[in-house]
Amino acid sequence: MSQFLPEFLQGYIPNAIQLIYLVATGFFIVGIKRLGSPATARSGNQLAATGMLIGIVVTMFDREIVSFEFIIAGIIIGALLGAIAAKKVQMTAMPEMVAVFNGFGGGASALVAWGEFARVEPALIPADGLVTTGLSILIGSITFTGSFIAFGKLKGFISGGRIALPGQNIINLVLTIGALGLVGWFTVDPEFQAVFWTLFGLALLIGVLTVLPIGGADMPVVISLLNSYSGIAASMAGFVLDNNLLIISGALVGAAGLILTNIMCQAMNRTLPAVLFGAFGGGDETAAADTGDKSVQKTFADDVAIQCSYAKKVVIVPGYGLAVAQAQHALKEVANLLEQKGVEVKYGIHPVAGRMPGHMNVLLAEADVPYDQLYDMEQINPEFKSTDVVLIIGANDVVNPAAKTSPGSPIYGMPILNVDEAKRTIVFKRSMNPGYAGIENDLFYSDKNQMFFGDAKKSLQELAGAIKELD
C-alpha cells in the first residue's frame, strides 16, 4: 500500500509504522490491565480490539502486499464469524469457545510460519529465522490440536476422564524431545523437506497426547496454559515475519496466560507438572458418591424463602451448575426480592468456579448483577462467620470442607470458600453426584446444611415465587 503514497513520504514510512505499533502496544497493555475488573472489562476488550485493528491497518504499509482482495475477504469473513459467534454462543459454552479461539490462534501462527517458509528460498533464511519458524510450527500445532481436544472434553463428546496409554508421560516426554531435536535438524538442513513435515505432524500428535490424559477438573488450568501457548506461538511468528507488533502482542498474551495459569494452580493447590502429568478428577459427573449411612436434610422453596427473607446477610456461591441451568437471571430475581426486604446480598466467587477463569463473573454480568456485589475468595471468606444463609448454586468441590479437614483427600490443601462457617448453608443441586474431583462433599451431611434438589433454574423460580408470597 505504501507505493500509493507520494515518493517524499515513503522514506518516513518505516519509522512511522514502528511509532504507530508502539501506540497499538499501549492499547494492548491498557486493555489487558482493564480486563482485571468486571467493571472495566468491556472497555478493556474494546481498547485491545482497537489496538489490533490499528495494527492490521498499519501492517499493510509495512511490506509489499501481494493481494489486498484476500486480506479484505479474510477480514469480512472473520468479522462475520466473530459477530455470529458472539450472538449465538451461550454463556454456558463460553469455555468451549475460548478453547476454539486458542486453537485457531495457535493454528494461524503455525500456518504463517509455514507460509513464510514456503515463500522464501530456505537457503536465504538466517539461522535465527529457521529456529523461530520451527518453534512457531511446534508450539502453534500443539496448541491447535490440544485446544480442540480440550474443546471436546468440555463439550462432552470426548470423555472428561483421563485417557492415557501405559507409560503416557514417558511417551509424551520422548516425543517432545524428538520434536525439539527436529527443530534443531530443520535449522541445520532446512532444504530437507521431510524434516519439516515430520515436525509438523509430530507437533500435532503431541497436542493430542498431552491433553487427552488430563482430567476434566484441570480444564480451567489447561485452557489458561493453551492460551499462553497461543501467545508464544504468535510471538514466534512475529520473529519469522520480523514484525514487532506481533512479537510484543504475542509476548503479552503468553505472559498473561502463564500468570493466569499460576493463579489457577494456586487456587487448586496444584503444581503445573501435577496438572500435566498427574491424575486429578475424572470429570465423570454421573458417578455416584459412596454416602454410606450418612443422611442429608432436604428443604423446599417455602422453607428457604423464610430463612432468606428474615436473614440479615445472604451470600450466593455460584458454580458450573448455575451455568448449565442458565439460571443467572432467575438468581438475580431472587437477589432483587431479598434486597427489597432489606437483606444484604453478596456473591462469593472462587477462582476456578465454572470451567474457565472468570466464567462466573461473566455469567453474572450477563444478568446485570452489580460489580460491587462480586467478591473474590479472599474477600468473602472472612464474612462467612457473620453470614446467616449461604445459597450454593451448582458448586461442589470449591466448598468441600474436606480440603481443610481430610489430609487423604485429593483436594486437601486446595483453597476453598469457607461456607461451613456460616450459620446455614443451602445447596441447590440436581442429585448427590460428586463434582469433578470425584469425591463426596462433607458439607452435604453437615447439621447446618440443607439440600434443595432439582434443576437450579426451576428451583430459583420456585424460591422467587415463595418469597413474593411472604409479602
Query: pLDDT tens across 329-356, in order?
Result: 999 999 999 999 999 999 999 887 776 7
pLDDT computed for residue 153 by the predictor: 84
> For residues 451 and 223, what is the distance between their CA atoms, to the nearest angstrom?
32
Q: Which amino acid is at 175?
A: L
Domains held by the chain: number: 3
303 is catalytic: no
Task: Please give the grid coordinates belonging to residue 45.
Answer: 476488550
Domain closes at, from 229, 252, 284 = 284
If 0-12 CB within 10 Å is exposed, 13-18 middle and 19+ buried, where does residue 382 land?
A: exposed
Q: Are 51 and 248 in contact (CB under 8 A)?
A: no
Task: Please give the grid coordinates belonging to residue 452.
Answer: 434443595
**Mean predicted confidence (pLDDT) in 243-255:** 91
Domain match, 235 and 353 both? no
pLDDT computed for residue 212 by the predictor: 87
Where does the pLDDT of residue 284 fall: very low under 50, low under 70, confident under 90, or very high at 90 and above? very low
pLDDT computed for residue 282 by the predictor: 45
Residue 37 belongs to some domain of the structure: yes
pLDDT in tens, 401-447: 988 888 877 778 888 999 999 999 999 998 887 766 668 888 999 99
Domain with 424, as residue range(s), is 301-469
Q: Which amino acid is at 305?
A: A
> For residues 361 and 18, what is the distance between their CA atoms, to the nearest angstrom?
37
Percent of the chain having pLDDT more than 90?
Answer: 45
Q: Indicate which residue of 62, 189, 376, 397 is catalytic.
A: 397
Domain match, 127 and 72 both? no
Domain match, 14 and 72 both? yes
Q: Which residues have a Cβ under 8 Å from the Cβ of 319 and sit 6 or more positions away?
A: 353, 354, 360, 392, 393, 394, 395, 396, 398
Domain match, 159 and 173 both? yes
Q: Does residue 221 have a pLDDT over 60?
A: yes
Residue 251 belongs to some domain of the structure: yes
Domain match, 413 and 360 both? yes
Domain match, 123 and 272 both? yes
Domain match, 264 and 322 both? no
Residue 294 belongs to some domain of the structure: no
